[in-house]
Amino acid sequence: MSLTLEGVVLSPGIGIGPVLPLVPLAFVETGSLLSEEERGAELGRLEEALNRAEADLVRLQAQAEKTLGADKAALFSAHRLMLRDPMLVGAVREAVAGGRSASDAVVVKTAEIRALFEALPDPYLKERAADVDDVGRRLFRALTGHVDPSDLAGREGGPFVVVARDLTPSDTALLDPSRVVALVTEEGGPTSHTAIIAQSLAIPALSAVAGALGRLIEGTVVIVDGLKGEVVVAPDEAALDAGRRAAALFAEERRQAEALRDLPAVSADGVALPLWGNIARPDGAGEILSRGGDGVGLFRTEFLYMGRDEAPTEEEQLAAYAEALTVLSPRPVTIRTLDAGGDKEIPYLASLVGHEANPFLGYRAIRLCLDHPELFKVQLRALLRAAVAGNLWLMFPMVVDAEELRAAKALLDVCAAELEAEGLEWARPAKVGVMIETPGALLMADLLAREVDFFSVGTNDLTQYLLAADRMNPRLKRLQDPFHPAVIRGLSVVARAAAAAGIDLGMCGEMAGDPLAIPLLAALGFRELSMTPARIPAAKKVLRSLSVAEAGKRLDEVLKAVTTAEVRSLLASWP
């Protein structure tokens, strides 16, 4: 009798094949100590290993550019910077100078820095712990002479279902799609590099499969269902046949969706609903175009501030913003101002924030920026100067009332006046808006709508705040669902406020890319949906077959639903 394991979908699709476990190299310290005479030579060995690791990353970047494109391959450029970051390398050198072996120092300091990231509540930043671990392990392998565990060159058979505790970003980037039909991990989330790269490679992937390495034995045939979030272990012939048919159907639907890439994002009854992409780096803009997207709905600027000892300069920020605006011009690029502090800890800003018992409700985003105009003005000036390069939509995060919004807009005016006085080229943003991600903003939506050009709903945070359910707590999984009736009713409130004021209404949370949600969002009046770029083709397929008018006729029954299951069931029945 077959066994079924549950997991979280990272990349959709269905893969069938034998299990290939990837058991990571033991990354542990030995406890060996160096004499004073040995420490100089060990520091020299560390420098040689750093050079080898960096050469590896240069090679991997060139290889990834061929398979993934320049934007995804930029991951390895970031890893090269991290490899030389004083936060890691400086600490390792100090430990070696103090008597630790280089390999032990790498293990210890990598674990310390990884723990800092893992302690962050924000899931996107929490996932960056995997990058730290990846770089540390690469340096460790350079010191010990081991090879990448994801190198399948010597493996016979396949294609495989790769099973791992977690996959490092470089592990995932190097996987050969012709030899890997699916990925299953015990750890990792939907914002991880594993998810992003698996989606780009069109490899089905599941995470959070409890005990996967121990329960999935090498060579056992499994069905990885990246639609239902299940792994079927040792399926019988009937289950295999059903799995193969489902895989073929999904492949055909994906092919049909990709064929729509260059067609407009318009519903069957003529309603335009642009599909945009969420990015964290300017080089992500190119993938949006390659997927048939219409713009950027969320550019997360905090990543410009991380992995360094001081805030980025005005010129550095200008270059990053202008790059994305130029690539996508005249399409909109929605840039969110700095959302740091509290749950997004940046070392050189930590003294401004201090310790917080509840960082998700803490001193962060617009609150931090307004209190520190010396930080905020640098970003606003860069944005105003970058606006010359394209169609900038400027968005303020974590707003709870009109006072915060007015203060931010006033500071934007101050920066514009300064630039004008200095004779520098600048332009007003095409539109200025706010994220609706707090209950305060939701309840004040009718008033906020009078003072902005657009709303963008961040359903990830809004869901956890409305339902008082920490989205990182696995015991609250039932309450981490944007289809909860309270969230649906909240979206209706925002939609009515935007419509009454005649402003644009968009969404940049994960819900925006969910095929089940698109008819509902269109019926509510959302007219821009922003998602992980890989989801754009499937979203366009749903949209182009949708009648918004017909969906609108069924909206009331969803708004009256009492349970999350009822909401989902009703939406599943919509044509």
Which residues are tagged catalytic? Answer: 193, 508
CB distance 130 to 193 below 8 Å: yes
Take residue 454 and report the two structure tokens written for it: 């657009």
Q: 164 in helix, strand or coil?
A: strand
The DSSP 8-state label assigned to residue 301 in this structure reads G
Known binding residues for Mg(2+) are: 437, 461
C-alpha separations of 376 from 344, 370, 398 in Å? 16, 7, 15
List Cβ neighbours of 452 (8 Å cut-off, separation of 6 or more).
405, 432, 433, 434, 503
Closest of 162, 223, 171, 160 to residue 197, by C-alpha: 171
Give CA–CA dist 486/285, Å, rounded: 34
Strand order in the sheet with 8-11: 3-6, 230-233, 221-225, 14-22, 160-164, 180-185, 205-207, 8-11
Longest pairwise C-alpha distance within the chain: 81
Q: Strand pairing partners for 275?
A: 529
CB distance 544 to 492 below 8 Å: no
Closest of 79, 75, 56 to residue 65, by C-alpha: 75
What is the DSSP code string of 512-530? GG-TTTHHHHHHHT--EEE
Q: What is the torsional sign of CA 505, 329, 260, 64?
A: negative
Take residue 506 and report the two structure tokens written for it: 């968009």
Take residue 221 and report the two structure tokens written for it: 């045939």
Cα 134-137-138 angle, rounded to 5 deg: 85
CB distance 335 to 299 below 8 Å: yes
Known binding residues are: 300, 336, 437, 460-461, 471
Give CA–CA dist 232/234, Å, rounded: 7
11 CB-side CA count, 13 A: 25
Known binding residues for phosphoenolpyruvate are: 300, 336, 460-461, 471
Closest of 361, 343, 344, 363 to residue 353, by C-alpha: 363
Take residue 309 and report the two structure tokens written for it: 């000892």
Give CA–CA dist 294/330, Å, rounded: 10
List Cβ neighbours of 462 (8 Å cut-off, separation of 6 or more).
436, 437, 438, 439, 442, 482, 487, 490, 509
Cα 349-354-358 angle, rounded to 5 deg: 115
Which amino acid, residue 211?
A: G
